Amino acid sequence: MRTHTERHRSERIGWLRAAVLGANDGIVSTASLVLGVAAAESGRSGVIVAGVAGLVAGAMSMAAGEYVSVSSQADTENADLAKERHELATDPDGEHRELSGIYQQRGLDRDLADQVATQLMEHDALGAHARDELGLTEIHAARPLQAALASAASFAVGAALPLGLVVFGPERGLVPLVAGGSLAFLALLGGMAARAGGASIARGAFRVTFWSALAMAATMGVGHLFGVATA
């Protein structure tokens, strides 16, 4: 018997979501932070300190947030599976009728739906109900640690890009360098994420760049006002 070896883009959804979110936040938040500090007319050393602090704090925050969020999803999934396991043990006939009804709603006639439900429950009753009743599959299963590590690592990588521009770029013209470079990184990231997900590359790049530019502009405005007020 041949096994199913075809791979789909949806298999990437768990780590891709966390990685793209982390890298995007890393670039946007760190670039916005250093631009705000630079706009307040702080020296390069102050901008670097702010950027490094933002990188460390952001990576840890992303990891903790993803872990807690995805853990809550996993808890809900486990609770639903425990309920199904109990119902299968106490009312297998009722669960069979329920599964058969699902297949009838999807277009099978009653006799065939009963046969499919019988065979699937004999093979893996809990798996059949998890997939067809609850919508839980291995591909979309919650993995808290994977999501936390992917978010933290991708945030750090993303944050390192604008921070590198601050460290190695010329101090004069630092603001346009960081702003322009960060937007270029974001456009590239948006395009790559869209390509990996099978979506429009141009649309993915535009939506990331547009909203990120607004965030940077707002932070620069705050930094400029703060610098003027404290001058």
189 located within any domain:
yes
Q: Which DSSP letter does residue 199 get? A: S
Rg of the chain, C-alpha, whole Å: 25
**Where does the pLDDT of residue 106 fall: very low under 50, low under 70, confident under 90, or very high at 90 and above?**
confident
Structural domain count of the chain? 1
Is residue 132 a part of any domain in this protein?
yes
Task: Give the model confidence (pLDDT) of 114-143 as tens digits.
Answer: 888 888 888 888 888 888 777 776 655 667
Q: Is the Cβ–Cβ distance between 59 and 152 less than 8 Å?
A: yes
Residue 168, in any domain of the structure: yes
Q: Is the pTM of this model over 0.85?
A: no
- Would you say residue 159 lies in a domain? yes
- Rounded Cα gap, residues 57 and 30, in angstroms: 10
Average pLDDT, the chain: 80
pLDDT in tens, 25-67: 899 889 888 888 887 777 788 888 989 999 999 999 988 988 8
State the pLDDT at residue 3. 45
Contacts of 144 (CB under 8 A, 6+ apart): 66, 67, 70, 71, 74
Q: Domain range spanning residue 183?
A: 13-225
Q: Kindly state whether residue 59 falls inside one of the protein's structural domains.
A: yes
pLDDT digits (tens, 9 = 90+) for 202-219: 888 888 888 888 888 888
Q: Report d(CA 138, CA 127) in Å as an integer.
A: 10
Hey, how many other C-beta atoms are within 10 angstroms of the C-beta on 147? 27
Q: Is residue 230 part of a domain?
A: no
Write down the residue that tokens 């707002």 correspond to.
218
Burial zone of 97 (CB within 10 Å; 0-12 exposed, 13-18 middle, 19+ buried): middle
Give, in degrees to the nearest 5, the angle at Cα 216 between 215 and 218.
65
